[in-house]
Structure 1
Amino acid sequence: MSTIYENKIQSIGEMAKEFFSEKMLILFGNEAPDGLKDYCFGIDVKPLNGDIKVGNKVFFNNQSYDITAVGNLVQKNLVELGHITMKFDGSESPELAGTLYLENKEVPDIDLGTKIEIK
């Protein structure tokens, strides 16, 4: 299983974990606008090593989640801005262009240094 994307949580906005109750989290590169930083998990902007597709897996440290749908702006936004929303509801059709949909499981516990990988 080859690694398509790898990053680590660099910062956690004051309100970022509030979205866990809605089974979602928001990633944004360290250049996030001031009005959004409080709601996001900050990451470095990094390139992709391939395409993100249904059937790939996202790992938070060693906890894995199947990708069930990929919005058509996920790859572009992730590479250019480090910005995507991850929704843990198992949706199979991407309703929002910048959202990566993952299997319907509890949102993982995320802290500074949490490793995110897409394989």
Structure 2
Amino acid sequence: MKSVVTQIGEMALQFEEDHVIVFFGPKAPNELRDISLIHEPTKGVFDGSLLLPNHQLVLGEQVYDITRVGSEAANNFEELGHISVYFTEPPSEILPGAVYVKPHQWPDVQMGMTIEFR
């Protein structure tokens, strides 16, 4: 599944210090658009079936290994296009919608960049 970033919220990239990016599909609530990257599938619907450890998240040209996934992340992604991606080591307990990746390098976020799970 691929999607494309269609909007970068005004405050979405201000969470670099916290090492987290919030993704939402086009039906994101207005109050969360400012802190989110809004993205839309290039075809079909959101598919969280590959949102699993030992798979990869590709943001543009940057490839990340998925290390941990919260219990609701796949469902949230399929329903709302929503996940919170953390570029850090996961704590012992993670939030239900969290996805942890490595390397712990902040991505170069661009309008029109693709998002893919593989």
The 2-side partners of 1:32 and 1:49 are apart by: 17
Contact kept? 2:48, 2:77, Cα under 8 Å: no
The equivalent of 1:89 in structure 2 is 88
The percent of aligned pairs where both chains have the same amino acid is 30
Q: TM-score, normalised by structure 1?
A: 0.88
Q: TM-score, normalised by structure 2?
A: 0.89
* Pair 1:71 & 2:61 matched: no
The equivalent of 1:7 in structure 2 is 3
Change (3 A) 1:93 1:107: same
Please provide the CA RMSD for this pair: 1.7
Contact kept? 1:25, 1:85, Cα under 8 Å: yes
Contact kept? 1:14, 1:39, Cα under 8 Å: yes
Contact kept? 1:10, 1:42, Cα under 8 Å: yes
State how many pairs are aligned.
115
Letter in 1 for 2:20: M
The 2-side partners of 1:59 and 1:88 are apart by: 13
The equivalent of 1:109 in structure 2 is 108
Letter in 1 for 2:107: P
Corresponding residue to 1:23 among 11, 19, 22: 19
